[in-house]
Amino acid sequence: MSHISNHLPTAELQALDAAHHLHPFTAERRLAEKGVRVITRAQGVWLTDSDGQKIIDGMAGLWCVNIGYGREELADIAARQMRELPFYNTFFQTTHLPAISLAEKVCEKTPQNLNHVFFVGSGSEAIDTSIRMVRTYWAIRGYSEKKAIISRKNAYHGSTVGAASLGGMTSMHEQGDLPIPNVHHINQPDWWSEGGDLSPAEFGWARAQELERTINELGEDRIAAFVAEPIQGAGGAIIPPETYWPEIQRICDAYEILLIADEVICGFGRTGNWFGSETFKIKPDVMTIAKGLSSGYQPIGGCVISDDIAEVLGQQEFYHGYTYSGHPVAAAVALENIRLLEEENIIGRAANVVAPYLKEKWEELEAHPMVGEARIIGLIASIALTPDKETRAKFAAATGTSGEIVRDRCFANNLVMRHVGDRMVISPSLIITPEEIDIVMSRAWQSLDEAEKIIKTRGLWKVAPPVC
Ligand SMILES: *Cc1c(COP(=O)(O)O)cnc(C)c1O
């Protein structure tokens, strides 16, 4: 683990990266000034950078390395599959063993009525596929006007044109003339920021009601589907109040619209069950999966659909597919990943041993002067930063100013904890140990203390005026 392979000095790597490599969701000029961190190796929940520093990864990469880094079995299976059949398509009336086996395994794991999977290369592609599928489903049934999709503000569904449109991030919509037509966004169930004087239970119910109101406004005969993450991930790990999902499910049952659960983060153990839909008792017609499907060892995702949708879509050719749909190496790795998750009971252990321990430690953060709510389900957790807990106030500075200061302190203290605006998020690998959680927490406390001092010194500890 102490081994660092021969490479250029960090400064030269940074200069080359700045010269040629464009990063996702990054202001390039600013990053070049700060200097990018070069990650060279990883094992378990630990990253090593080009200076030999050990960083504890509180984010499982990007919500995906559920099984942890360094699993030899996954490397071996990839090498074996590359030797045997590195690529073949699934377009030409052909299939191959990894795609068959993974499809069977995925459908064994997903809820009972979801028995058919369309493979893709990423979560964004899974979402784009779901858009085309649900619209085509209704069109084949003779309802070609049923094409609107209801999504939520501050949702994240990916970065392609379709996925960014379903997403509810206004900053993303502003770049590239989005959203595409026939997408509607209702409000999110974020009680801390938007709940006002309502109790969480009242607020969750009220926010769910917006779905019914929107269905009635637009007309049921024009709506194809409602799409939502069981827990909004990139929106800030926002765990909805308990009243939210039951009411959403009631509405989806009462109207003829499809429910798409975007399980790209929640899927494969994140919430303590195989899928977030189990945790929240959601009955989706379509499930999008990616990230944890292969624990990030290979890029692969899927769009899993119900027997009813598959039956209808199967009546004609669906003009859709990706060269790498069901890629044999990615599929073989995903299958092995699921086998290991099952055989080693990684999800059960995470739910019963690790999650309760993390919950106890995480909720203690509410004692910190800068932390409002601390929320957690399974191994996905967030805290809201605030200058005044009593009133759930926002900071007066631009949203994200405080979050970024905390994030930078964490990174300097060799902890990866992400900020989303002024919320801090963790989503560690499921194999994290209680001892490693102690390290995460002590670095988090230290970083929050340091950030609090910086925020106060810079005169940023100011409450934003309330929005009317
Ligand atoms: C990451 C993510 C996506 C997009 O997946 P990519 O693989 O980055 O395209 C879609 N939905 C959710 C909920 C995500 O977290």
- Residue of minimum CA distance from atom 10 in ligand 1: 157
385: left (phi over 0), alpha (psi -120 to 50) or beta: beta
Packing angle of the helix pair 401-412, 434-457 (nearest 10 deg): 130
DSSP 8-state code for residue 467: P
DSSP 395: B
AA letter at 216: N
- Write out the DSSP string of 57-111: ETTHHHHT-TT-B--HHHHHHHHHHHHH-S---SSSS---HHHHHHHHHHHHHS-
Bond from prior residue into 179 cis (ω within 30 degrees of 0)? yes
Ramachandran area for residue 238 (φ above 0: left; ψ -120 to 50: alpha; else beta)? beta
Q: Are 350 and 379 in contact (CB under 8 A)?
A: yes
Measured CA to CA in angstroms, residue 405 lies from 302, 399, 401, 464 at distances of 36, 12, 6, 18
Distance 345 CA to ligand 1 centre (A): 25
Q: CB under 6 Å to ligand 1: residues?
A: 63, 122-124, 127, 156-158, 229, 233-234, 262, 264-265, 290
Tell the burial category of 445 from Cβ atoms under 10 Å away from its Cβ (0-12, 13-18, 19+). Answer: middle
Q: How many angstroms separate the alpha carbon of residue 126 from the centre of ligand 1?
A: 9
b/e sequence 178-188, b meaning 16+ C-beta within 10 Å = bbeebbbbbeb
**Structure letter (DSSP) for residue 367:** G
**Distance between CA atoms of 397 and 457, rounded to whole angstroms?**
14
Mutation to probe ligand 1, out of 62, 124, 125, 166 (largest number of atoms < 8 A from CB): 124
Q: Tell me which residue of 329, 332, 334, 317 sits closest to 93, measured CA to CA.
A: 317
Q: Which two tokens stand for residue 196?
A: 């006002």
pLDDT at 3: 56
Q: For residues 280 and 252, what is the distance between their CA atoms, to the nearest angstrom? A: 14
Do 289 and 264 touch, CB atoms closer than 8 A?
Answer: yes
Ligand 1 atom nearest to CA at 301? 7
Q: How many CB atoms lie within 10 A of CB 214?
A: 18
Partner residues linked to 225 by β-bridges: 149, 258
CA-163 nearest atom, ligand 1: 10
The closest alpha carbon to 293, from 282, 304, 283, belongs to 304
For residue 341, give both structure tokens: 């998750």
- Of 251, 154, 166, 262, nearest to 210 by C-alpha is 251
Cβ–Cβ under 8 Å, residues 127 and 287? no
What pLDDT is recorded for position 466? Answer: 75
How many whole angstroms from 189 Cα to the centroid of ligand 1? 19
CA dihedral 358, 359, 364, 368 (to 10 degrees): 80
Is 391 within 8 Å of 467 (Cβ atoms)?
no
Atom of ligand 1 nearest to the CA of 155: 13
In three-state secondary structure terms, 338 is helix
Q: What is the pLDDT along the chain (468 residues), one digit of tens a residue?
A: 455 567 899 999 999 999 999 999 999 999 999 999 999 999 999 999 999 999 999 999 999 999 999 999 999 999 999 999 999 999 999 999 999 999 999 999 999 999 999 999 999 999 999 999 999 999 999 999 999 999 999 999 999 999 999 999 999 999 999 999 999 999 999 999 999 999 999 999 999 999 999 999 999 999 999 999 999 999 999 999 999 999 999 999 999 999 999 999 999 999 999 999 999 999 999 999 999 999 999 999 999 999 999 999 999 999 999 999 999 999 999 999 999 999 999 999 999 999 999 999 999 999 999 999 999 999 999 999 999 999 999 999 999 999 999 999 999 999 999 999 999 999 999 999 999 999 999 999 999 999 999 999 999 999 998 765
CB 277 within 8 A of CB 304: no
Give the residue among 194, 219, 218, 224 at the shortest CA–CA distance from 206.
Answer: 194
Distance CA 269, CA 327 (A): 23
Q: How many CA atoms lie within 13 A of 275 on its CB side?
A: 25
Q: Which atom of ligand 1 is nearest to the CA of 62?
A: 1
**Given this model, what pLDDT does residue 1 score?**
46
> Candidates 62, 120, 122, 125: which one to mutate for ligand 1, based on the most atoms within 8 Å of Cβ?
122
- For residue 370, the CA-to-ligand 1 centroid distance in Å is 30
User: Across the strands, what pairs with 42?
Assistant: 47
